[in-house]
Amino acid sequence: MATMEAPPRLQVRLHEGAFTNEPFVDFTKEDNVRKMRSAIEKVRGQLGREYDLIIGGKRSKTSDKIRSINPAKPSEVVGVHQKAGKEHVEPAVQAALSAFTHWSRTSVEERASLLFRVADGMRERKLEYMAWLVFEVSKNWLEADADISETIDFCEFYAREALRFSKVEPPVQLPGERGTLTYIPLGVGAVIPPWNFACAIMAGMTVASIVSGNTVVLKPSSDSPTIAAKFVELLEECGMPEGVVNFCPGGGASFGDALVSHPKTRYVAFTGSREVGLHINQTAAQQQKGQLWIKRTILEMGGKDAIIVDADADIDSAVEGVAGAAFGFQGQKCSACSRAIVDERVYDKFLEKLKSRVERITIGDPTANLNMAAVINEGSMNDILRYIEIGKKDGRLITGGARDTSASNAEGYFIQPTVIADIPAKSTLEQEEIFGPVLVVIKSRNFDHALEIANDTEFGLTGAVYSSSREKLDRAVREFHVGNLYLNRKCTGAMVGAHPFGGFNMSGTDSKSGGPDYLYLFTQAKSVGEKIV
């Protein structure tokens, strides 16, 4: 194994006080609007730059490239990236192993201090990071703000959690013994994030790894490598030693598979589709020659999330919550509402109000901060349009139902917000994750029937119930089988610390990111009992 000199000690600067969520930018203030427009123009001037692989702190280029494009304007290249292949897995893992020798022994105070500095650095350039998301993944300003704010929250929260873990003691001290319980790092982790929360999830899995003392090979999504490159640059600016995070964009079937199956990869942190997550789980479960451990998989996968609207619900509030959860960021959230299950007694009234609300949604270039922008790429757009055509046959189109080809949107991957009613339970659109701006509405006979429909899916990520009945809400808490349940509010918008996030069934391993037990997944407990002489 390669060796390296011990890095200089990081400056320790710990933050006092309890964790609080990062406040969102108030865009009702003209000064903030002006600053955001300025950040967008600054980033626009940096589009198309090339970024290197970073392995063990050393930068390199490859002959194959990944071109990240603007979904709202596909002719515009956001960043050009090197494409790591199988031949880069060994050097990346070895660099991470070498760094692990020292990083795992770096004090938790130093590791936490790094995260606090990263949070500070991101706050200082928050609008600029938001602008990168506007261009690279087509987020409007509010969605970009939520993404970057959550990134800051993850840094602040996991740093405090690591410090808390370092002070844990066994609940019982035996007479004549001194017992300690230490949460030690696992080793080298493969971090494989998605494009939809291109900064928050990528950064969250990365900083949870490194604050726990692990080192990382980071393979960002090929649709969003530029924001990941910017985050790694910030880690380096803040004093992260070489090799602690190795930046390797690459193909899933080549670099990704080889990384997951490498015998020295200790764990895999993944967020993405059910299909890829199951493939990773299966690959990681196979012991490789020289592998000494059972690999841990931390998997956050898909959802087919439902909002139940009961007959006694506040219909206006329910309509607003459903529309927000279904069409925020073009429905490209694993937590998005893709099924509205509505009591037959208020079904027609709900549909009438929902149609009116959805048709007020504006669509266009996210630099202009409209309600909805483009879906992530052409392949995704075509898949979503295929689902819409199926839905038109199985149900009744209420609004939308096509690509948005207005003059200003003709080049981009824009799809109208689409509502399809009268979709039968167990049908394709009621069961399969679409991951786009498509909402299906299903009629229920009563609350029992609504819960039955909601639970009749292989997923179990988020859900919500709108009802004025305490009894029904309490029943939902007991019987609605999802990892994150919301009552009389939308099913998206989990906040770090308040809503630990992760789902059941095929939605993943219920990792509960942003919660008090998340760092357990990146550590292992070592118990020591010492006889007192």
**Is 300 a residue of the active site?**
yes
Residue pair 449/346 in contact by the 8 Å Cβ criterion: no
Model confidence, pTM: 0.96
**What is the structure's pLDDT at 406?**
87
Helix (H) or strand (E) holding 430: helix 428-431
**What is the structure's pLDDT at 262?**
98
Ranges of the chain with pLDDT below 50: 1-6
Does residue 406 sit in helix, strand or coil?
Answer: coil
Long-range Cβ contacts of 1-7 (<8 Å, 24+ apart): 1/94, 1/97, 1/98, 2/56, 2/94, 2/95, 2/97, 2/98, 3/98, 3/101, 4/56, 4/98, 4/99, 4/101, 4/102, 4/242, 4/243, 6/102, 7/102, 7/241, 7/242
Q: How many CB atoms lie within 10 A of CB 169?
A: 9
**What is the structure's pLDDT at 2?**
40
Nearest to 390 by CA among 361, 431, 449: 431
Specify the pairing of strand 523-531 against strand 418-421.
unpaired
DSSP 8-state secondary structure symbol assigned to residue 40: H
Residue pair 461/483 in contact by the 8 Å Cβ criterion: yes
**What is the structure's pLDDT at 13?**
65
**What is the structure's pLDDT at 15?**
66
Q: Which of 136, 300, 430, 433 is catalytic?
A: 300
Domains of the chain and CATH, by start: 32-301+511-528 (3.40.605.10), 305-495 (3.40.309.10)
Residue 487 phi, psi dihedral angles, 5° rounding? -115, 125
Helix (H) or strand (E) holding 257: helix 257-261
Residue located via tokens 């390669």: 2
Residue pair 38/273 in contact by the 8 Å Cβ criterion: no
**What is the structure's pLDDT at 5?**
46
Nearest to 94 by CA among 192, 179, 217: 217
**What is the structure's pLDDT at 343?**
98
Calculate ∠ Cα 444-456-304, nearest 5°: 95
Does residue 203 sit in helix, strand or coil?
Answer: helix
First to last CA, the chain: 40
Calculate ∠ Cα 459-136-406, nearest 5°: 90
Does residue 438 sit in helix, strand or coil?
Answer: strand
Q: How far is CA 224 from CA 101, 231, 353, in A?
A: 31, 12, 36
Q: pLDDT, tens digit, for every residue of 199-208?
A: 999 999 999 9
**Is 248 a residue of the active site?**
no
**What is the structure's pLDDT at 10?**
61
Does residue 398 sit in helix, strand or coil?
Answer: strand
Q: Residues with Cβ < 8 Å from 434, sequence gap 6 or more? A: 331, 338, 383, 384, 387
Find the radius of gyration of the CA atoms of the chain: 24
Helix extents (H) in 469-524: 470-479
Q: Which of 334, 337, 430, 433 is catalytic?
A: 334
Residue located via tokens 């997550």: 277
364 φψ region: left (φ > 0), alpha (ψ -120 to 50), beta (else): left
Secondary structure (DSSP) of 283-318: HHTSPPTT--SPPEEEEE----EEEEE-TTS-HHHH
Of the chain, the percentage scoring pLDDT greater than 90 comes to 95
Q: What gap in Å lies between CA 57 and CA 194, rounded to an integer?
A: 24
Q: What gap in Å lies between CA 456 and CA 425, rounded to an integer?
A: 9
Residue pair 249/84 in contact by the 8 Å Cβ criterion: yes
Nearest to 108 by CA among 211, 190, 29, 230: 211
